[in-house]
Amino acid sequence: MTTHRDETAMTTTSGPACCDELAQATRLSRRRLIQGMAAAGATGVATSLFGDAFRQTAFAGQPGGNVLVVLSLRGGIDGLGVVVPHGDPGYYTARPRIAVPRESLVAQDGFFGLHPAMQPLEWLWSAGELAAVHAVGLPVPNRSHFSAMEEIEDADTGSDARRGWVNRMIGLTGTTDPTTGIHLSTAAMPTLIAGPTPTIAVDRVSQVAMIGADKADEWSRRRRKALGTMWRGKSALGPAYRSAAATVDKMAPLARTPYTPTVAYPTGGAANDLSEALRDTAQLIKADLGTEVVSIDYGTWDLHSDYGTLEWGDMQNLIAGFAKALDAFMRDLGPLRSRVTVVTISEFGRRLMENGNGGLDHGWGNMMLVAGGGVRGGAYYGAWPGLGTGREADADLRVTTDYRNVLGEVLARRFPDRSLASVFPGVTYAPRGVML
């Protein structure tokens, strides 16, 4: 592996900053950018970044089926700080200022434990509905946010086609219904869901609406009729119009209906954005439109500095936001949880040793959390590679489980009709037993 720090260029709009010097400034910028967009009320609907192909016949997703929720923890979450290997002394040696003390950990076993801010999810762990896999990631280190995200989300190194694994997965049934795969929380469509099978990316479900035709009234009816007249016949955008009309027909009633969850979701603070996205996800799942995958971005985990301790800092704040929002979502789903599996993913883990700013630079191995239906929860999975002495400056957590095998296991169990070889070409399937 390379030891020099090769941090490929990326933009503040697509993800957090790369360099120590920049971490704070650009993290702020991204927040402000997003707020700026929200204030402008202009984040409505994203454009697909990639080619959408349409067929004449639309096949919808099947109601009552299983749902996968993919939470992308962007910026590279520190897996060692979420699923803490308290049994490995290297961890404490490497992080004199920011290590999470063993006695504070929840859901402890003899070797691992969860960050105390994960406490809201402890009930899921105890109920066997939450599991963690450690030392997962890309087979070869890639410390560039940009290209690591591309690699993880495209997940098909043998092909030039810009197509994400979720897009391949939902496309296997021949669906042309854009509500089969939905990205919430940002207007930009991430690679994992983008590709020739139509998908949709919106901030909020309430924004799936056709302007001027978004009410059940005469004017909306007239407009739709007029648009039908205008778009009759063949044109390059004709199929896109018809697909948009179909999406709106399917989702607009939902978008117009105020949703009353069965529990209160946390608002404000670090939980807010994830809370909103998960609330919409619960609404979608309950509406049972046949959605198979919901993708959500959460957090800016690129903590080169301001990582903090249990008392202060971005790490505990973000984890708490994550745990509270996910807790509300899982409770809100109630018995429907048996149909819904949540999985987290991040482009890379962080360096073992803390840096001069009490933060962590880009590393390699990470953890993944799997929760909900079909999970063999209450346990830690994976092969622990050991952390060395904890004094090696460039040491990373080594990857012993290809992330595609975690996703692959979830798919194999929850969507058994999908060919893993098609979703993750070239991967030798080796499940870790995370799923029932």
Partner 1 sequence: MARKVNPYPDTKVPTAQQRHFMNRLGCGYSRSTFKAMRKAGSPEAWFEKQLRPEKVKEAKLARKLPYWYGEARTDSPVTKWSKQAQQVKGGWEYALDLANYSLLRRIHSERQVLENLVDFWSNHLHVGASSDLGWVHRWSYDETIRRHALGRFDEMLADAALHPSMLLFLDNWRSVRGAPNENQGRELLELHTVGRAAGYTEQMVKDSAKILSGWTVDAFKTWDRFYDPAKHTTGPVQVLGFTAGNTSADAQETTKDYLRYLAHHPATAHNIARKLAVRFVSDTPSTRLVNDLAKVFRKSGTDIKATMRALVAHPEFKKSKGNLVRTPLDDFVATARALDIRVLKPAGDDAFARVASWAVQSTPAYHWPRPDGSPWGGAQWTSPARMLGSFRMHWNLGAGWWPSKGVKYKDGAAFLPEKQIRLDAWVDHLCREILGRESSPRIVDAVCTTVGYGGGEKVTKDHQAAGWMFVRILGVLLDSPDHMHR
Nearest to 343, CA basis, from 375, 311, 312, 319: 375
Using CB under 8 A as the binding rule, whether residue 419 contacts partner 1 is answered as: no
Minimum separation from the CB atom of position 151 to partner 1 (A): 13
Question: Alpha-carbon distance 76 to 362, whole Å?
Answer: 7
User: What DSSP string describes 372-401?
Assistant: ETTB--SSEES-----TTS--TT--PPP-E
Which of 66, 180, 185, 247 is close enough to bind partner 1 by CB under 8 A? 247
Q: How many CB atoms within 10 Å of residue 286?
A: 16
The C-alpha angle with vertex 184 and arms to 56 and 237, in degrees rounded to 5, equals 30
Of 36 and 128, nearer to partner 1 (C-beta) is 36
Q: H or E segment at 343?
A: strand 340-345
Site track 147-186 with partner 1 (rule: CB under 8 A), x = hit: ---x---------x-----------------x--------
User: Which residue's CB is nearer to partner 1, number 214 or number 392?
Assistant: 214
To the nearest whole angstrom, how small is the minimum distance from the Cβ of residue 34 to partner 1? 10
For partner 1, the binding residue among 243, 283, 316, 366 (CB under 8 A) is 243
Using CB under 8 A as the binding rule, the residues of this chain from 63 to 122 that contact partner 1 are: none
User: Between 188 and 336, whose beta carbon lies closer to partner 1?
Assistant: 188
Q: Which of 1, 42, 393, 436: binder of partner 1 (CB under 8 A)?
A: 42
CA 79-293-241 angle, to 5 degrees, is 135
Q: Which of positions 196-235 make contact with partner 1 (CB under 8 A)?
A: 198-202, 208-212, 219, 222-223, 225-227, 229-232, 235
Residue whose CB is less far from partner 1, 277 or 330: 277
Choices 193-201, 338-346, 347-355, 392-400 (CB under 8 A): range interacting with partner 1:
193-201
Q: Measured between alpha carbons, how far is 331 from 324 in angstroms, rounded to an integer?
A: 11
| Residue 379 binding partner 1, by CB under 8 A | no
Based on the shown chain and the rule CB under 8 A, indicate whether residue 240 belongs to the binding site for partner 1: yes
Minimum distance, C-beta of residue 244 to partner 1, in the bound complex (Å): 4
**Size, binding site for partner 1 by CB under 8 A:** 77
Residues sharing a CB contact under 8 Å with residue 326, sequence separation 6 or more, in sequence order: 120, 121, 274, 278, 342, 371
Closer Cβ to partner 1, 26 or 316, answer by number: 26
Exactly one of 58, 60, 106, 246 binds partner 1 (CB under 8 A); which one? 246
Count Cα neighbours of 198 within 13 Å in the Cβ-side half-sphere.
Answer: 22
For residue 370 the two structure tokens come to 């799997």
What element of type H or E holds 293?
Answer: strand 293-297
| 258-317 residues near partner 1, rule: CB under 8 A | none
Least CB distance from residue 289 to partner 1, whole Å?
Answer: 14
Q: Does 29 bind partner 1 (CB under 8 A)?
A: yes
Collapsing DSSP states into helix, strand and coil, what is residue 44?
coil
- Which two structure tokens, joined as six digits, stand for 266? 């946390």
Give the shortest CB-189-to-partner 1 separation in angstroms. 8
Q: Which residue, 49 or 106, has its beta carbon nearer to partner 1? A: 49
State how far the Cα of 299 lies from the Cα of 72, in Å rounded to an integer.
Answer: 8
Give whichever of 106 and 188 is closer to partner 1, judged by the CB atom. Answer: 188
| Nearest to partner 1 of 64, 232 (CB atom) | 232
The nearest distance, CB 145 to partner 1, in angstroms, is: 10
C-alpha–C-alpha distance, residues 125 and 131, integer Å = 7
Q: Which of 274, 276, 299 is nearest to 205 (CA)?
A: 276
> What minimum distance in Å lies between the beta carbon of 217 and partner 1?
12
**Which residue number, 85 or 190, has a Cβ lying nearer to partner 1?**
190
Do the Cβ atoms of 213 and 69 come closer than 8 Å?
no
Residue 421 contacts partner 1 per CB under 8 A: no
Footprint of partner 1 on residues 115-154 (CB under 8 A)?
Answer: 146, 150
Q: Which is nearer to partner 1, 362 or 414 (CB)?
A: 362
Contacts of residue 63, Cβ cutoff 8 Å, sequence gap at least 6: 288, 289, 290
The Cα–Cα gap between 99 and 313 comes to 13
Span 47-66, contacts to partner 1 by CB under 8 A: 47-54
Retrieve residue 59's tokens.
């096949």
What's the CA gap between 213 and 409, in Å, rounded? 43
Please, what sign has the CA dihedral across residues 237, 241, 244, 246?
Answer: negative
In the complex, the smallest distance separating the C-beta of residue 19 from partner 1, rounded to whole angstroms, is 7
Quote the least distance from Cβ 10 to partner 1, whole Å. 7
